[in-house]
């Protein structure tokens, strides 16, 4: 299971596939990062916890207003912690652009230690790196 990804550069044959398991692992890493400094990231954490709502029977995660959600997301953006979302919520019609890759890397570098503590490497990083190193000439398209 995954989303197929190819490079939009006509002279490049790079292809990849997003593994769905990494979506969850990235979200887990983000949550661990915020939880480690809970008093600083209270609002952000509330928003991220809400993203888990679908696979949680505990309804307390739903206990968040729209305003709180917006605020949590805005805070994540301000602190450059929203970079993973473009990859976590990738769809078949998404693109991974250079700008997104830069944002992803900024956030990912911050939670790197949380990700690697999970006994598995983030293998999809190659794809982000492709868009990143391509500096806009190797944007990726999903299908």
- Measured in whole angstroms, the distance separating CA 35 from the mean position of its chain's CA atoms is 17
Residue 8 contacts Zn ion per CB under 5 A: no
| Segment interacting with Zn ion (CB under 5 A) among 9-17, 47-55, 76-84, 101-109 | 9-17
The H or E element spanning position 96 is strand 95-96
CB contact at 8 A, 104 and 84: yes
Q: Is position 133 an interface residue for Zn ion (rule: CB under 5 A)?
A: no
Among 12, 36, 123, 133, binds Zn ion (CB under 5 A): 12
User: Which one of 3, 9, 32, 102 is in contact with Zn ion (CB under 5 A)?
Assistant: 9
Q: Among residues 17, 22, 19, which one has the least CA distance to residue 5?
A: 17
Smallest gap, in angstroms, from Cβ of residue 8 to Zn ion?
8
- C-alpha to C-alpha distance for 105 and 112, rounded to whole angstroms: 10
Strand positions, DSSP E, the chain: 2-7, 15-19, 95-96, 140-142
- Site size with Zn ion, rule: CB under 5 A: 5
Q: Which stretch binds Zn ion (CB under 5 A): 6-14, 30-38, 96-104, 110-118?
A: 6-14
Question: Of 2, 3, 6, 14, which lies in the binding site for Zn ion, with binding defined by CB under 5 A?
Answer: 14
Residues binding Zn ion (CB under 5 A):
7, 9, 12, 14, 138
């Amino acid at each position: 299971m995954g989303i197929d990804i190819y490079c939009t550069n006509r002279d490049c044959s790079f292809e990849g596939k997003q593994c769905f398991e990494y979506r969850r692992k990235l979200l887990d890493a983000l949550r661990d990062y915020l939880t480690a400094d809970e008093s600083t990231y209270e609002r952000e954490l509330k928003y991220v916890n809400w993203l888990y709502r679908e696979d949680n029977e505990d309804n307390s995660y739903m206990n968040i207003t729209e305003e709180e959600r917006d605020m949590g997301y805005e805070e994540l953006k301000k602190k450059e912690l929203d970079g993973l979302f473009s990859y976590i919520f990738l769809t078949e019609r998404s693109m991974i652009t250079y700008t997104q890759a830069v944002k992803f890397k900024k956030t990912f570098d911050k939670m790197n230690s949380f990700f690697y503590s999970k006994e598995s490497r983030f293998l999809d990083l190659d794809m982000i790196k492709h868009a990143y190193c391509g500096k806009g000439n190797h944007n990726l398209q999903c299908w």
